[in-house]
Amino acid sequence: MSLSLASKATAGIAGTGAVAGGGAFAAYKFLNQETIEKYLNSLHRELATSNEDWELIKNNYAADKEANPIPNIPKASIGDKLNDLKKWCSDHLNEEFSQEKASKGDYNLIQSWCTKQVKISSYLKHLKLEALETTGTKDNERWTKLKDSYPNGSLKVHEINTSGNTKSEGNPVDNLSGSDQKIKDWCSWASDQYFRYKEDTLFKRYEYFCTKPA
C-alpha cells in the first residue's frame, strides 16, 4: 500500500525518542502550513499556468486604468515585459504567507494578476450572490429602491459609451432623471468585466447596485 505524502514525509525524518517526535511535528507543520497559493485557492482562485491564461492577463493588464498596476511594470510595455510580471508573481507567491497581510489586502495584486481571469458574473456564486435581472419585472422592487436612494454616498454607476460593438465606462452618473435604466445598463456592462478582488472599487459598486443574496 502506498503511503500518503504526509506519511512519507513524517517517516522520512522521524528517528527515535524526542528526535522522532520533533521530526513528525516538523513534517506535519510543513505539510499543513498555509501558503499564498492555498489562500488564493480558498478564495476560489487558481494560479495562471497556460499561455492562454497569461495572454488574457496581459490584455487585461494593458487595459487597466492605472498606468502601473504593479510598480515598475507599466501597462504600456506589458507586451515586452510579460516575463517580468511572471517573475513578480513567482517571487511573491514564494513568500511566507501572513494572515495579517491577507487581512490588510496585501495579496490583492497577486489575486488580480497572477491567477486565471474570471468574470464577475461567474464569480458571484462563490460569494453567495446573484445578479439582479436587468430585463423583465422580477427585480423591479429592488431597482426602484436603488433608483430612489441614488446615489449611495460615493457609490455611483457610470455612463456606458458604445462605439461599434465595444462598450466602455464613461463618467459617473450624478442624476438618474427618474429612471433606473442607467443603473441596469451599467450592471449589464459590469457583469462582463473581470473580477479582481472583493475590495476592488468596481466590484464594490457592482455588489451594491447589481446583486442580491443567492
Domain ranges for the chain, please list them: 36-113, 120-213
Q: What is the structure's pLDDT at 32? A: 62
Q: Are 195 and 125 in contact (CB under 8 A)?
A: no
Q: Measure CA 208 to chain center.
A: 17
- Tell me the helices (H) and strands (E) count for the chain, helix number first: 11, 4
Does residue 106 surpass a pLDDT of 90? yes
Q: Are 147 and 176 in contact (CB under 8 A)?
A: yes
- pLDDT, average across residues 124-138: 97
Res. 11 pLDDT band, cuts 50 70 90: very low
Q: Indicate the pLDDT class of residue 33, thresholds 50, 70 and 90.
A: confident
Q: Which residues contact 72 (CB under 8 A, 6 or more apart)?
A: none
Confidence at 209, pLDDT banded by 50, 70, 90: very high
pTM given for the model: 0.83
Beta strands 166-172 and 158-163, pairing class:
antiparallel
Residue with cell 422580477: 138
Give yes or no for residue 181 having a pLDDT over 70.
yes
SS3 category, 54: helix
